[in-house]
Each structure stands twice: as C-alpha cells, then as structure tokens.
A and B are shown apart, each in its own frame.
Chain A
Amino acid sequence: MLDSLQLLFIMDGKGPYVWACLLILIIVIFINLIIPVIRLKRIYREGTLEE
C-alpha cells in the first residue's frame, strides 16, 4: 500500500510536474471560490452598518 502510494507520488521522477499542475488547479479554484464569499460578506457588513 505504502509502496504503491510512493510510486504514485514519485511517478518515475515525473511526479513533481504532475503534482505542481494539480496544485496550480487547486489554487485557482480556491481563489475563484473564496473571492465571491468575501465579496458577499463585505456587502452584508456594509449593508448592516448602513442600518
């Protein structure tokens, strides 16, 4: 089990390329998901303060 996980991680020396791509994808998705949430929270805060 550990051996196969290690093989998956290293991928015959090409692992860093594949995992770097996955990391970039996750970062971009995270940014695109978090920005609207922050924006909504800010609008809500401003709206509540106006009151």
Chain B
Amino acid sequence: MGSPPHFYKWATRSLPWLAGLAVIVFCVGLTWGIGFSPTDYKQGDVYRIIYIHVPSAILAESIYIFMAISGFISMVWRAKIAGMLINSAAPIGAGFTLVALLTGSIWGKPTWGTWWVWDARLTSTLILFFLYAAIIGLHSSIENKTKGDRAVAILAVLGVVIVPIIKKSVDWWQTLHQPSTFTLTSSPSMPPEMYLPLLVCVLGFYFLFIFMLTNSLRGEIISRERDKSWVKKQFFKY
C-alpha cells in the first residue's frame, strides 16, 4: 500500500466512490445548514456562515496535523509516499485556510463591524496560511524532490506547534473571536437543529478533503514516477 504503484491503483479505483460520498454528504450538510436550520435569535441569518467557516477552519488545522504526521513518517521511515502526501495536501490546506480567513472576515463585518482585527485567533490562522504557503514555495524551489521532501517534512513537523496555539488562542488571550464551537469536554452551546447540520458539514468537508487529496496524489505519483516502467506501461501505453 505504501509503494507508489499500489497507492496509484488504490487511488484510481476508489476515486469515484470517494467523489460520490463527498458530494452527497457535503451537499446534504450545506443544504441543511444554509437552507433549513432555524434563524439565530441574536445574529439572524448571517450566522449561517458558520456552516462554511467552522468546517473550513477545522479542516485547515486537521490537514496541517496530517501533514506533520506524514512529515514525521517521511523523516523516520523515508517513505516516498509520505513526501508526496505532504506535497498534495499543502495546496488543499492552504485553500481551506484561505476560505476560513475570508469567510471569517465576511462574517466579522456584520457582527463585529469590521472586516479584520489583529486578535490572537485571526493572526494565528493567518500564520497557518503563511506556513502552508512556505511549504508549497519551499518544495517547488528545490529541484531535487527527495531533498525537497525532507525540507518540507521538517517544516511541517516544526510548524505543527501553530495548531494548539490556534485552538487555545481564544482561552489564552482576550479575543473578539467567540470560543471554540467544538470541544471534547463540554456539550455544544447550540441547539441540535443548528448543531447537527454543522456536524454533517464537518463530515462532508473531511470526505471532500480525502477525495481532493486522492485526486491530487494521482498526479503527484505520475509526475514523480514518470520515468519508471510501471508508469510507462500503464499511463503512456509504451
């Protein structure tokens, strides 16, 4: 499973199933949340941004943790596929961090009266976006892909320290940002009619990430292994 040819075969076979699952759960969650959940008594309908903002923010942090684990595996076991996973996940993570930042900013305008404040949660999330950008930039600037993998693995592992800072920023510092929506220690502060679609949205975003990663990884594998005989046989038919 860890070898690129096996991974490529698995990815190609599972891609349509992953796509179907991702589209169904993602669309159900968003339609339920944006179209059918009750209006918030305080914020009105603008709170519905939560169904885009919160799953994007959760995914932005989760993808970085995933990259750090892959980076650790890449450094310790020198698994080729782990380096490819970081390289494929980084643009997706950067995309969802950007969505979290932009939707947070759009949500901030009607609720806080400003597009942006330099508070701990927003600033640490912006740093996460820069970390993603640094990983993408670093890998593309190193011609030797093995060395590039090692460099981004180190950066991914070291940079993971930002995730607990983001998570705890609302507790450690006085911020304009509200406390975490999801916590493992306390029950949700929202009613189930609002909370359940949010859970479905989070699940849909995770499925979407797995699908997007698998889709991107296929290109990464073929790009790196294009000189290998299995690629020439399967892909170029010669």
Which positions in A face B, CB cutoff 8 Å? 8, 11-12, 14-15, 17-18, 20-22, 24-25, 28-29, 31-33, 35-37, 39-40, 43-44, 47-48, 50-51
> Which residues of chain A come closer than 8 Å to B39, judged between CB atoms?
12
- Bound-state Cα–Cα, A8 to B35, Å: 7
> Which residues of chain B come closer than 8 Å to A44, judged between CB atoms?
235-236
- Bound-state Cα–Cα, A32 to B89, Å: 10
Q: How far is the CB of A49 from chain B (nearest CB, A)?
A: 10
Instruction: Report the 7 A-B pairs with minimum CB-CB distance, sorted nearest first.
Output: A11-B45, A14-B46, A47-B236, A36-B219, A21-B103, A28-B95, A36-B216
Contacts A12-B44, A14-B110, A15-B45 given; does A51 touch B238 at CB 8 Å: yes
Q: How far is the CB of A26 from chain B (nearest CB, A)?
A: 10
Query: What's the dominant secondary structure at chain B's contact region?
Result: helix
The 0/1 profile, CB within 8 Å of A marked 1, for residues 29-59 of chain B is 0100011000100001110110011001000
A24–B219 touching, CB < 8 Å? no
B45–A18 touching, CB < 8 Å? yes
Query: What's the dominant secondary structure at chain A's contact region?
Result: helix
- Bound-state Cα–Cα, A47 to B91, Å: 25
